[in-house]
Structure 1
Amino acid sequence: MRTDWDAFLSAVQERGEYPTQAEAERASRVVLALLGAHLLGEVRRELAALLPETLAGILLNPLQAHEPLPPERFIRATAAWIEGATEKTATWDVSAVLSVVADTAGEDLTQRILLQLPPGYDLLFGHPQSI
Structure 2
Amino acid sequence: MTISEVSEKFDIPQDTLRYYERIGLIPRVNRNKSGVRVFTETDCNWVEFIKCMRGAGLPIEVLIEYVALFQQGDETLQARKDLFVEQRRLLLKRMEDMQKTLERLDYKIAVFEDKIVEAERTLGRPKN
Q: Which has the higher contact order (CA 8 A, sep 6+)?
A: 1
Bin the TM-score by the shorter chain: under 0.3
TM-score normalised by L of structure 1: 0.27
TM-score normalised by L of structure 2: 0.28
Q: Decide which structure has the larger Cα Rg and report it.
A: 2
Q: By percentage of residues, which structure has more helix?
A: 2
